[in-house]
Amino acid sequence: MRLTKEEAREYRRCAASPVYTLLNYGYLKHIVKGKMKWVPYDWQIELLEGLYTGKNYVILKSRQVGASWTVAFFVAWMIHFRPDIEILLLSQNEKKAIKLLYKVRFVCVNFPDFIRREFNADSKLRLSVIHKRSGGDVSSESSVDSLTTTSSSGRGDTAALIFMDEIAHMERGDEVYTAVKPATSHGGQMVIASSPNGPEGVFPRIWFDAENGDSATFVSMRVHYTDCGFDESWLIEAADGMTEEEILQEYELSFIGGGSPAFDPTHLKDCYISMEQILTDPELASIKSLVLGSKKYASGVDTAEIKASRGKRRRDFNAVTSLNEYGIQIIAEMNKMLLDEWAGNTIGVGDKSVEVVGYVSKWHRCYQISA
């Protein structure tokens, strides 16, 4: 198709900026309203700008915030303006893989004619577009494959972009990540997005490394439902029927552990009194005098259900810890080492010797239990 001068100028503007393209020609499908013009949130603009400059993202997100639509838009933009590239989308199952590619396809078909390219492959799990020379001959093809997660997903491929959607909820998330990460080793990008699903696994590991500035690959991004204009009244309706633990995980970005804890983690907040409240509330005068008159200390309790079988590879330990002017005190039920074997002693950690400051109280001696 021959473009007018204005269309050619507009095409160049779009090729130079996914944000410009989104603001002017972005459409999505709302679950209730149907096709609608895209009005992006600030974090979506930030994500598109970062992806355009080559950044890799790990996104901790609430449910229903539009992260997959945002990545789908960037994917559609890439295959239209970047010739001869391959993109991989990875989802929990085939139904979600089909749905994710549908979002890419929806963005593509709603581009204006001067942007939209001809589809060469268009199936439930693969989409490709043709890039032509000025004379009309096909010069290249750019494609996107939407896959389910297996230990061999993406292995051996080379990709310009890989998107892992809800990685924390994938059955083999760790294995899939190990298989596909090398596919970006030649300059490709990677986006990992998920709501939390406990404190263990590849997603929290990557997230906390990035959040703490220790990742050589990923930039962290946190997307809470309030970043999308939603409020508490929306949450009440959206989370109707869910437990408080499920709400914390799915919407409040909390990495809640599994097992059967003795203390309900959602109610521990009721036990907390801020230092500001202690110092200013007249009803807490007695506590204030204790705090101001005592030496500094910190204590922690981790009480959870012990696995019944000692043959299990992973166990959950009950522990009480105190850090005070005397050093470290700790009691751990079913620990592999007695407290007095290391507290106050020098122990080997790897190839180093570490002096553990602390002492063993009579209380600790009475209650510590060896494995």
* Homologous superfamily in CATH for domain 5-250: P-loop containing nucleotide triphosphate hydrolases (3.40.50.300)
Residue 166: what pLDDT? 93
Residue 314: what pLDDT? 44
What tens digit of pLDDT does each residue of 84-130 get? 999 999 999 999 999 999 999 999 999 999 999 999 989 999 999 99
What are φ and ψ of residue 354, in 5° steps?
-120, 130
Q: Are 100 and 149 in contact (CB under 8 A)?
A: no
What does the pLDDT average to over 136-162? 79
Cα distances (Å, whole numbers) of residue 62 to 35, 202, 230: 23, 18, 11
Q: Are 62 and 251 in contact (CB under 8 A)?
A: yes
CA distance 230 to 192: 23
Residue 269: what pLDDT? 56
Question: Token pair for residue 41?
Answer: 């949130």
Which letter, b or e, does each residue of 331-344 get, where b requires 16 or more Cβ atoms within 10 Å of its Cβ? Answer: bbbebeebbeebbb
Which pLDDT band holds residue 311 (cuts at 50, 70, 90)?
Answer: very low
Domain assignments of the chain as residue spans, ordered by start: 5-250, 295-367
DSSP per-residue codes, 332-360: ETTBSS-GGGTTTSEEEETTEEEE--B--
What does the pLDDT average to over 323-336? 52
Which pLDDT band holds residue 245 (cuts at 50, 70, 90)?
Answer: confident
CA distance 175 to 42: 33
What tens digit of pLDDT does each residue of 39-66 get? 999 999 999 999 999 999 999 999 989 9
The rounded mean pLDDT for the chain is 81
DSSP per-residue codes, 181-196: GGGGTTT-EEEEEE--
Which pLDDT band holds residue 324 (cuts at 50, 70, 90)?
Answer: low
- Position with higher pLDDT, 265 vs 284: 284
Bridge partners (DSSP) of residue 368 are none
Residue 179: what pLDDT? 86
Residue 292: what pLDDT? 72
Q: Is the pLDDT assigned to residue 319 strictly greater than 80? A: no
What tens digit of pLDDT does each residue of 338-366 get? 555 656 667 665 566 656 555 555 544 44
Question: Token pair for residue 257?
Answer: 């552990």
